[in-house]
Amino acid sequence: MNENMTCNQRRLFVLAANLSLLALLMVFEVSYRSAGWNVTMNTLIAANGLIFLFSFLMGYVRSGAWRFSHKSIEMLDEREMIVSSAVMRIAYAVFTILVLAVLLTFTLMDWQLDMVLVATLILFAHLLPASLIAWKKSLI
């Protein structure tokens, strides 16, 4: 992991990436369901997209968390395997609960799933293990 970045900086970028992804999803959902597409919504989408991209590059790529969380199991030493296994177990338990809550909400509200939500959930499934690694650097 990049030693030039402080723990607080890394955490700030991880938090910004996840919050901007959530904001991006919410703007898409509001535009799709009620407000319609207008200049304000397009500006919010572009701004959140740029914030997500910048914070992703700084918090995940530059810190090395993305590379570590996507390494092949054959390339990990024994300690890294233990860390990777623990992080994946936590991340996918959280992801499963989140997806079930989203599906339950959409069912109760009688909403249809759209591709933006599905794509966001897929991206979040990849971000969550790297988020845990970037958040707690002492794991590595």
3-state secondary structure of 110: coil
Q: What pLDDT is recorded for position 96?
A: 97
Mean pLDDT of 22-31: 89
Quick check: pTM over 0.75? yes
CB atoms within 10 A of CB 59: 27
**Taking 90 as the threshold, does the pLDDT of residue 4 lie above it?**
no
Q: Parse the chain into domains and list their residue ranges.
A: 7-139
Q: pLDDT digit string (tens) for 113-137?
A: 889 999 999 999 999 999 999 888 7
Q: Could you read off the pLDDT of 65-108 as tens digits, one per residue? A: 899 888 888 898 998 898 889 999 999 999 999 999 999 999 99
